[in-house]
Amino acid sequence: MRIVINTLVLLIFAAMISACNGSDPAAPKNDGSDSTFSGKSELPKVTVLPPAVAPSNETVVLPPQTTTALKDLGPIVWPLPLPEAQPTAAPQAVQVGTRPYYLVDSMSDGPLKTKLKSCANGPFKRTDFAIAHRGAPLEFPEHTKEGYEAAIRMGAGILECDVTLTKDKQLVCRHSQCDLAQTTDVLSNKELAAKCSVPFKPADGSKKASVSCCTYDFTLAEFETLKGKLAGSNPDATKPGEYLKNVADWRTGLYTRGTVMSHAQSIALFDAAGVKMAPELKKITLPPGYTRDNFRQQLVDEYKAAKIEPSRVSIQSDNLDDLLYLIAHEPEFGKGASYLWSPSSTVSDDRLATLYSQGIRTISSAVGNLYDTEKTTNKLIPSAAATKAKKAGFELVGWTMEHDDDVPGENGDDVYGLMDVLAKDVGVKGVFSDWVRTTSYYASCMGLK
């Protein structure tokens, strides 16, 4: 049996050699100079014995007439190179989920619905029109890593970190300096809860539960041990754990353990994602020896330390002096700053002209101040304040779409009807949203940047 197998192997080898060269009379002869076959210019002459009579201890050999020179195949390479991989389609960068489709389907028939339905298959892109308000707090704990990452996947081109201060003067992302009892699990940690400015007091008869836990009650290291939760509190709680549980029933409970973030950590996350940043200088309690100017400069310095281009940062504040400081001391950051101010319909042209002369170029207003309802047609139109501000040369930003308790009663006409007026008639350059997917769908469909 071994002889038969050896014979078959050698016959196959002979056939391979023949295929390489033997059948081609014009094939060049190997002169032995190739380093791969050096010293082996021709194989020894051999004889094949019939399998039936070949002794078991004899070497099976090739017949003399098959002797030939090997064709020069070049240096042998192993492993053999694999075919180059064919490029595959890039994964969808922006995920809009199901809510935009739900809203569009609920709209009244008309040109806007027809246009939005035509964009059902995308493509969807990241735009600066879609600004993430505190991350994605419609479903994720606000100002957390998980909420920010969700907003980035949803197509937010700009993300917000509301900036407050810790006990050891470190900047962290919190909407309010004293909202930790409502937005984190601080009350579930007895040691930290004992440090709150106003420790938990249970509800008692007509008295509601009370507590106040502030960022300045904790060091940065202590703050980073907290977990973000969906905003909410139970004023009738008699125990700290009960106080944490009152979250709107229309919110999901799937994403309730968020990673809180320092301002510097938010910068690193946003920079890695290639998005722009909209930090807000919040009202804070200033510790001894620390001024508001220190707070303003510390925020700017963290962007400088991270080597972030000022053009990627739009610092917000409802304190005009914050913006005037930036314009005077950090002009590259100051020129992109945004004044959080909701002018009324009676705002004077002189007031707007003064702001413009001071270097303010962007006004960020509550959306309710940017539109009115035309009385005879019930149609949404730009407000008098928005019209005056645009005429005075300001860029406008609106806040906040799909926010908090507005959401359950909203349909597609409410959401996309207003968004369309803000974009096309008012001319805002962006809108803050608690659920950026809805905005990304609209912005991509309309070709906004």
Token code pair at residue 39? 């010293």
Q: Which residues face 93 on adjacent strands?
A: none
Q: Given this model, what pLDDT does residue 405 score?
A: 66
Instruction: Return left, alpha or beta for 74; rule: phi > 0 is left, psi -120 to 50 is alpha, else beta.
Output: left
Give dist(CA 131, CA 438) in Å, integer. 11
Q: Given this model, what pLDDT does residue 387 score?
A: 98
Give dist(CA 95, CA 151) in Å, integer. 10
Predicted confidence pLDDT, tens digits, the chain (449 residues) = 444 444 444 455 455 544 444 444 444 444 433 333 333 344 444 444 444 444 444 444 444 544 444 444 444 333 334 344 343 334 448 999 999 999 999 999 999 999 999 999 999 999 999 999 999 999 999 999 999 999 999 999 999 999 999 999 999 999 999 999 999 999 999 999 999 999 999 999 999 999 999 999 999 999 999 999 999 999 999 999 999 987 777 777 778 789 999 999 999 999 999 999 999 999 999 999 999 999 999 999 999 999 999 999 999 999 999 999 999 999 999 999 999 999 999 999 999 999 999 999 999 999 999 999 999 999 999 999 999 999 999 999 999 999 876 777 789 999 999 999 999 999 999 999 999 999 999 999 999 99
3-state DSSP call for residue 338?
A: strand
210-212 and 362-366 beta bridge pairing:
unpaired
In the block, residue with structure tokens 């090739």:
62
Q: How far is CA 115 from CA 156, 315, 442, in A?
A: 22, 34, 10
Task: List alpha helices for 74-176, DSSP H.
Answer: 99-105, 111-117, 145-154
Q: Given this model, what pLDDT does residue 265 score?
A: 98
Ordered by where they begin, the domains of the chain are 2-66 (no CATH), 94-161+266-449 (3.20.20.190), 163-260 (no CATH)
Residues sharing a CB contact under 8 Å with residue 322, sequence separation 6 or more, in sequence order: 281, 292, 296, 315, 337
DSSP, residue by residue, 239-306 = SHHHHT----TTS-SS---EEB-BHHHHHHHHHHHT-EE--EE---PPPTT--HHHHHHHHHHHHHHT
Give dist(CA 405, CA 379) in Å, integer. 23
Q: Given this model, what pLDDT does residue 211 score?
A: 98
Q: What are phi and psi of 6, to 5 degrees?
A: -60, -40
338-340 and 316-317 beta bridge pairing:
parallel
In the block, residue with structure tokens 């890593």:
145
Detail the DSSP E strand segments found in 375-434: 380-382, 395-401, 430-433
Token code pair at residue 67? 């002797």
Residues sharing a CB contact under 8 Å with residue 436, sequence separation 6 or more, in sequence order: 130, 131, 132, 136, 151, 154, 155, 156
Contact 397, 428 (CB under 8 A): yes
